[in-house]
Amino acid sequence: MITPKPFINARRDTPCPICGKTSWCGFNDEIAVCMRVSSGREVNNGGWLHKLDNVFTSYVPPKTRSNVKRKPDEFIDMVYREFIRILPLSEDHLQSLLERGMAEEEIRRRQYRTTPKDRHADSLGEKFNLYGVPGFFKENGRWKCVAAQGILIPVKNERRQIVGFQIRLDRKADNKKYVWFSSAKMGGSTPGPRIHVAMPQKIKIPDLVWITEGPLKADIAAERLGFPVLGVPGVNCWKSAIEVVKNLNPERAVVAYDSDYHKKQVSIHARALVDELKKHYKTGVALWPEEKGLDDALVAGVSIKVKVV
């Protein structure tokens, strides 16, 4: 039997992935019931059923049953830095990052790690109060961390604090390549929609910011472009991205999504992002041959054009 995943309602921070509006519709990471855009498949509440592709589309922050509030960024940064201090990066994971075209020095500097096999977090729990730190939870009186195995990718805010982790899974789960380091299902706080701010080692162009998909791509792109690149967790999180762009205060902004713009759930949000950016900055859209991701295109030296919009 298939248990349907819980639905979340379209709201300001989680707009509908189909129409982009912030009320009335509902969705999870697989399907959406949109009340405004027809799919030809009507459901009994009067809305239409849309299947969401499992590419870069919408990110739905895991809901938490508890009232545990997320700790402030300063505290989370402290805990996460202590957490990764002794974690290694396995040879396999180092190899897979090298194969993406990253340099060893770059990989070290980005602080990628291999998720721990041992889920116990007793010593961390003695040092810090882990309530409200995403990824940790208490079980039978002992602190533990979530168990998904893969590469732990730090998500940093504009103050370079580690405020979350994405995990690149060793084995796809539910057709997903990436998950968030989240204990929301075990009563922890939600990891929230966090925007990764990837800074290159040397900023060559100070007045420009790009926006792309996810933290790892952003890291690879920032290093090769020479300016900050934001990695958004899903196209629907563009409002959070706007806040971060404002804090970085550039003159120009470019949207560089790989995903097929013809897919409705991408294009609505991408367009909304572009429209909002245009109000404040010189804005462009990055274009390159479609078969490659932005990171692969940059590593391969493919020329990327920016169309001013």
Q: How many CB atoms lie within 10 A of CB 101?
A: 15
Nearest approach, Cβ of residue 34 and Zn ion (Å)? 3
**Two structure tokens written together for 168:** 């690149």
**For Zn ion, which is the closer residue by CB, 5 or 278?**
5
Q: Which of 279, 261, 243, 272 lies closest to 15 in space, CA to CA? A: 272
**For Zn ion, which is the closer residue by CB, 58 or 161?**
58
Q: What are phi and psi of 166, to 5 degrees?
A: -100, 150
**For Zn ion, which is the closer residue by CB, 10 or 256?**
10
Nearest approach, Cβ of residue 285 and Zn ion (Å)? 24
Q: Contact at 8 Å (CB) between 254 and 285?
A: yes
**For Zn ion, which is the closer residue by CB, 25 or 218?**
25
Nearest approach, Cβ of residue 48 and Zn ion (Å)? 9
Nearest approach, Cβ of residue 10 and Zn ion (Å)? 6
**For Zn ion, which is the closer residue by CB, 35 or 186?**
35
Q: At what angle do helices 264-278 and 238-248 cross, to 10 degrees?
A: 30
**Two structure tokens written together for 186:** 């075990």
Positions that interact with Zn ion (CB under 5 A): 16, 18-19, 25, 34, 36
The DSSP string of 233-273 is SSGGGHHHHHHHHHHH--SEEEE---S-TTSHHHHHHHHHH
Nearest approach, Cβ of residue 50 and Zn ion (Å)? 8
Bridge partners for 169 per DSSP? 150
**Two structure tokens written together for 293:** 């991701």
User: Where does the chain have alpha helices with state H?
Assistant: 73-85, 91-99, 104-109, 122-127, 215-225, 238-248, 264-278, 294-299
Nearest approach, Cβ of residue 265 and Zn ion (Å)? 10
**For Zn ion, which is the closer residue by CB, 48 or 180?**
48
**For Zn ion, which is the closer residue by CB, 239 or 252?**
239
**For Zn ion, which is the closer residue by CB, 31 or 309?**
31
Nearest approach, Cβ of residue 15 and Zn ion (Å)? 8
Nearest approach, Cβ of residue 49 and Zn ion (Å)? 11
Q: Which residues contact 123 (CB under 8 A, 6 or more apart)?
A: none
Q: Which residues contact 219 (CB under 8 A, 6 or more apart)?
A: 102, 106, 110, 153, 196, 198, 229, 231
